[in-house]
Structure 1
Amino acid sequence: MAGCDGIRAVVTGVGVVSPIGIGKDRFWDSLMQNRSGIDYLQSIASDDLPSPFAAEVRDFDPATMLRDRKFVKVMSRDMQLGAASANLAMKDAAIKRGDIDPYRLGVVYGAGRMTTHPAELLAGVQASTDESNHFSMTRWGEGGMGRVAPLWLLRQLPNMPACHISIDHNAAGPNNTITCRDASALLALGEAVRVIEAGRADAMIVGACSSNIHPVDIAKFHKFEGLSKRNDDPSRVCRPFDFERDGAVVGEGAATFVVESYEHARRRGADIYAEVLGIGAGCDGKGYANESAGLGLVRAIESTVRRAQIRPDELGHINAQGKSTQADDIVESRAYNRSLGDCVLKVPVTAMKSFIGHFDAGAGAVELAGTLLSLKNGEVPATLNYEIPDPRCRLNVVQEGPQKLKSRTALSVNRTAMGQSAAAVLRAV
């Protein structure tokens, strides 16, 4: 896909902070070795939670991965993961501060709702409680509010990852935040590509971050989307498209990408992962008929394949949403069959949530990193725990992997519980 002036958009940097590895090399090695990042919760107590399992980012020290350790106290876990992955991506792209005109370098970043921890407000609430143990607005105004850290709100705002990243890398160009949950990373990529095609920037920093390792988030996921109730081997819990799947597993992580015009990347001698051929989006709309058919995802896939100007049988693999819930995996499978036809039965499908869990905006970004590395290395990872094919999910799921790619063109897909969908076609250059 090229803009009105024939401008092509390519990816030249990948940074990953994930439950299966920090850095693209460790992340890719885990995918190739079928090494799951799902385990028993360690950072918080799980006794009263609906599931004892999660995919946590271990061995992450923000003080060593951020530009200035003093920023740690004003950044939530989500922001720390995102800023760290952006540093890795810029290093991977071999771009230093000052290499690009600041006004020609922008940021589009995806983020979810950043849940506050009750302890952050505890002192203010205690100071506002009267002798009857009731909350007093008078006491709140007189002294309770002053007990809350002045910069507390900065840890909760979803636009702050983009702000921190733009400051870190002196990116004074177009800047935006996308808050469409799982679809955020692909939608951010789409906006960045349009900015480059329009000639408004030479390079864009793109990605998404999120951490759902929080009691409120875990309870919310279980209530509205459904977590797995299995309590055996944690590495076998998440089972996308498998007949015995029974729910998702929460996680955390971030991935960031450097997207440039092809000419800009070529002039500076950059290594290129892939070209973005097309991006599409859609939403199911209201009503059971739309939701059960996944029409938003159908429209997103049809749109991106049309923009990419490829045939469905040219796809080398599909990186699926694969949430591992009964209903969502069926809807997704139907959408592939409807939009791509019978040839989808021959296209290898991988679902990386079986490795990294489900964590809102950040999961889509980490999965996109997997797509790019698959194109770069010519292999597609397996879907863990896919043992009993579900006849209602008519897909060619990669059961034993990794598997060699026959074509280095990929479709990466994400779909939210509310039906917001996004799809991207990328091709190795």
Structure 2
Amino acid sequence: MSEAHAHDALEDIVITGMGVVTPVGGDVPSFWAANLEGRSGIVREERMDTTGLPCGWTAGLIPPEVREKVAADHGAPGRSWGDTLMHAAVEEALTDARLDARPAAAGPAALVYARVWPGPTGSDPQDYITHMADLGERYDTVGDDPAAVLAHLRTRNLPLEARDLSAYPAEIAERLGTAVVPVRLEATCAGGLRALAEAARLLRSGRARYAVVSAAVSRNTPYVLSQYGQLMALSRWKGDPALSSMPFDRRRTGMVINESAGALILETAEHAAGRGVDEHHAVIGGWGLAVDTSHMTAPRVEMVERVMRTALAEAGARPEDVDVVNAHGTSTRLNDVTEARALHRVFGERMAELPVSAVKSLTGHGSAASGVVETAASALTLCRGVVPPVPTCTEPDPACDVRTSLTPVERPVAGLLKNSFGFGGQYASMFLRRPAAPRRAASLG
């Protein structure tokens, strides 16, 4: 690092546990292996009729065998699919952090999470159909007068598909055996990184001894596909589905949405050491957050640059301390070139040699869950000294001019910058450092 920390290393916020459920793997080891192999989880969407849509016939779907195991191990009556996915990821993260047996002994906890509704399954098109039908029936019955709507709802026992109720915070508190400080974030596709920043803030304030950060998304329905289709945000690739998400490739036509979940355990290095955990996945150095109301969907170079520079400044780091960028890399025409231009502003001539990875090339885009899942990949890059490939970027776009690779790149990685941006003018960037004692679980290579 270019500057010494102003605080003792024991005050570092560290990642001690990770869990994921993704289209390329139902746990961290399989997810990491798929990233290094360049194995895609994007397939043709065959659960619904997409013939009337201009795009959206591919999706990053959790494999059937993984879905069945997650449902069997973590499903419960009335529990949504999104909550079920988060429970699976949290359980893996707790085990990884050595908190699974007696989490209550670790002290008060924070729970920071981002979850995308709808319904008990989350990815079944019927959930939205039921929900929209209920909205239509209610409007026909009572119109849009708030008092009438409230009176009408009081007489109804809504089906799960038509409500957004979740016992998730209470369930996690029960699992941990302690009261939690619960925070649910709504920051669209930047929600995962914002959740990590909020968890770190709660730890630094002393309100919690450790934090569980989780996010999940599963929204592959005609309604959602139609929304994104109208924005011309979804991939219109006609060939092999595995190639439909092409971050920084000149042929890219849009993003591919997925279903996924991730969970990370954060704590101070001192707290981790107090329970005998001295090896960590990553150190959270600093972050930059911003909201820009100038446009609902189009990112701005100036804002991307701003949050990246803020993340570095908060970490006491300089651009030359960044060895890898884990990009937002959605594969849309506008986002990729905007992010690339901001990277060139921050790193200048170093862009010719600075490796850039883009996990969405294999998984598709999981909204807020992407920030958590891709931070897990970032931590593995730091600990293993391996930058995953971007196998779909075979014709790099000169307008982006970023350095991606078709095969894994082995190199020392001491500092990494992770980006996430979202609709509604949400921007987030986080600088991660390689810990002094990196985790090297045998199952992860």
What TM-score do the two structures reach when normalised by structure 2? 0.84
Deviations 1:339-369 (A, max 9, x none): 2333233210011111111121112221111
SS in 2 for 1:174: strand
Preserved CA contact (<8 Å) 2:190 2:426: yes
Q: CA deviation at 1:175?
A: 1.5
Identity of aligned residues (%): 27
Which residue of structure 2 lines up, in the alignment, with residue 56 of structure 1?
Answer: 61
- With over 3 angstroms needed to count, the CA separation of the structure-2 counterparts of 1:161 and 1:363, relative to structure 1, is farther
Distance in structure 2 (CA, Å) of the matches to 1:419 and 1:122 = 27
1:99 and 2:135 are equivalent in the alignment? no
Distance in structure 2 (CA, Å) of the matches to 1:111 and 1:125 = 22
- With over 3 angstroms needed to count, the CA separation of the structure-2 counterparts of 1:196 and 1:359, relative to structure 1, is same
Distance in structure 2 (CA, Å) of the matches to 1:425 and 1:246 = 29
- With over 3 angstroms needed to count, the CA separation of the structure-2 counterparts of 1:378 and 1:163, relative to structure 1, is farther
Amino acid at match of 1:17: V
- With over 3 angstroms needed to count, the CA separation of the structure-2 counterparts of 1:298 and 1:291, relative to structure 1, is farther
Amino acid at match of 2:82: D
- The residue correspondences of 1:144-159 to structure 2 (distance < 5 A) are 146=156, 148-149=158-159, 156=164
Distance in structure 2 (CA, Å) of the matches to 1:258 and 1:2 = 24
- The residue correspondences of 1:258-337 to structure 2 (distance < 5 A) are 258-270=265-277, 271-286=279-294, 293-337=300-344
Amino acid at match of 1:404: E
Amino acid at match of 2:28: K
- The residue correspondences of 1:5-404 to structure 2 (distance < 5 A) are 7-49=11-53, 50-58=55-63, 59=65, 60-61=67-68, 62-66=70-74, 69=75, 71=76, 73-96=77-100, 98-101=102-105, 104-114=108-118, 117-118=127-128, 120=130, 135-137=140-142, 146=156, 148-149=158-159, 156=164, 161-270=168-277, 271-286=279-294, 293-397=300-404, 399-404=405-410
Which residue of structure 2 lines up, in the alignment, with residue 411 of structure 1?
Answer: 417
Preserved CA contact (<8 Å) 1:314 1:407: no
Distance in structure 1 (CA, Å) of the matches to 2:228 and 2:299 = 20
Alignment gaps of 5+ in structure 2: 144-148, 436-445
What TM-score do the two structures reach when normalised by structure 1? 0.87
SS in 1 for 2:20: strand
- With over 3 angstroms needed to count, the CA separation of the structure-2 counterparts of 1:413 and 1:83, relative to structure 1, is same
SS in 2 for 1:391: coil
Deviations 1:25-71 (A, max 9, x none): 010110111100101114434333432210011221344332xx4x3
Preserved CA contact (<8 Å) 1:283 1:295: no
Distance in structure 2 (CA, Å) of the matches to 1:160 and 1:411 = 34
Distance in structure 2 (CA, Å) of the matches to 1:44 and 1:194 = 42
Preserved CA contact (<8 Å) 2:106 2:209: no
Number of residues paired by the alignment?
414
Distance in structure 2 (CA, Å) of the matches to 1:142 and 1:162 = 28
Preserved CA contact (<8 Å) 1:330 1:392: yes
Distance in structure 2 (CA, Å) of the matches to 1:160 and 1:340 = 45
Distance in structure 1 (CA, Å) of the matches to 2:272 and 2:353 = 34
Amino acid at match of 1:22: G
Alignment gaps of 5+ in structure 1: none
Q: CA deviation at 1:113?
A: 4.8
SS in 1 for 2:103: coil
SS in 2 for 1:421: strand
Which residue of structure 2 lines up, in the alignment, with residue 421 of structure 1?
Answer: 427
Amino acid at match of 1:281: L
Q: Over the residues paired in the alignment, what is the CA RMSD in angstroms?
A: 3.0
Distance in structure 1 (CA, Å) of the matches to 2:178 and 2:246 = 40
